[in-house]
Structure 1
């Protein structure tokens, strides 16, 4: 019989009261229901704006496929016969009809298959995410939503909730949900809203944060995000 491997315990860092910040907590009725503590190691970080610029450059470069390609004169299908004799015609000297100068010939200096992939260190990516969240928190553009399990997975319900939160005219809202079944409703409901984009908490990146005007965490998503990043609010 094969031995069953024991699951490894994830080490978490305890958050002391001095290193806690708070984010406003809202109910599905659009009213403030309290505050939730968040670690300063994530939501109160100092960094350079150059790091964010570097992160965005690397992120956008890695989204490029680099699959566009043209055919050169050696790859174009066609005869290599000399189109007319070298001398005596009074015209310019030409060889094969596949030369780039002719219609239907190859392309000179066109795009070729290439990789645009750039690399950014893990610590830099992590710090860019934390710094972008810090900027959003300081500007008051992050809020946490509780009781999301009571919300049906329909777009009209989320649209009504956004109007209660005075976010109906916001152009780009990022909604962050967790893997829990109770959060699936909001993921399903935001598909038909043109100004709401949703992502899982563990897939959150600095580019999505910087692009958003408002960020809505579900309560379970925020707790899972903090735990996933190696912190714990348990004393």
Structure 2
């Protein structure tokens, strides 16, 4: 399939052929759902922690005698039944991540790209380069192109001036090809890929 290439000024810069095996799949919601869950679970810190009965700071002395009080039998004040006592079976630090095979992760990225193509939300640009850091100029170009929430995928490396200018623009993210992922692609309205990024993506996913 062919797609027109534009530059940041909106001018025509030719066209490119997109591979059907990457951009022409029928998007499957179940694959995309598993990929997003995998990414979000791996991003969880898992640092939640509560103190157990052995960790709260209380005396271990028996709080009152065993018999003759008419009340229940209790030992230390650190028991979970008391206010300020240890928590029973509370959360402990752990990893929330789970495994997905490399083959499945590649398939998920292909389906995410195909989903954006099916929506008509992919834009190919000639290059994402700037001679100097000019946020105002880039913001003006982005507004003229109609990109409100966009992800720009560049080649193996991102132009430093362009990345620094884009960092101050709300709703605009820039990633190298190896940083391209399903979650970031799906959460943005427009996916912008440079010609260098397109070549690197096709090499990565074939």
TM-score normalised to structure 1 length: 0.79
Q: By how many angstroms is 1:92 displaced? A: 3.2
Q: What is the match of residue 38 of structure 2?
A: 58
In the alignment, structure 1 residue 103 sits paired with structure 2 residue 83: yes
Name the residue aligned to 2:205. Answer: 229
2:154 and 2:175 in contact (8 A); partners too: yes
The 10-residue stretch of structure 1 (139-148 or 64-73) with the greater mean CA deviation from structure 2: 139-148
Q: Structure 1 residue 147: deviation in Å?
A: 4.6
Distance in 1, matches of 2:28 and 2:200, equals: 27
Q: Which residue of 1 aligns with 2:119?
A: 139
- What is the aligned counterpart of 1:43 among 8, 12, 23? 23
Q: Which residue of 2 aligns with 1:127?
A: 107
Counterparts of 2:144 and 2:135 in 1: how far apart (Å)? 14
Map residues 1-235 of structure 1 onto 2, 5 A cutoff.
21-46=1-26, 48-150=28-130, 152-167=132-147, 170=148, 172-180=149-157, 183-230=159-206
Give the match's secondary structure for 2:18.
strand
Paired residues, what number? Answer: 206
Query: What is the CA distance between 1:209 and its match in structure 2?
Result: 1.3
CA RMSD of aligned residues (A): 2.0
Q: Which runs of 4+ in 1 moved over 6 A?
A: none
TM-score (norm 2): 0.89
Q: Which runs of 5+ in 1 are unaligned?
A: 1-20, 231-235
Deviations 1:123-172 (A, max 9, x none): 211111111101111222111222533453332222111111022xx2x2
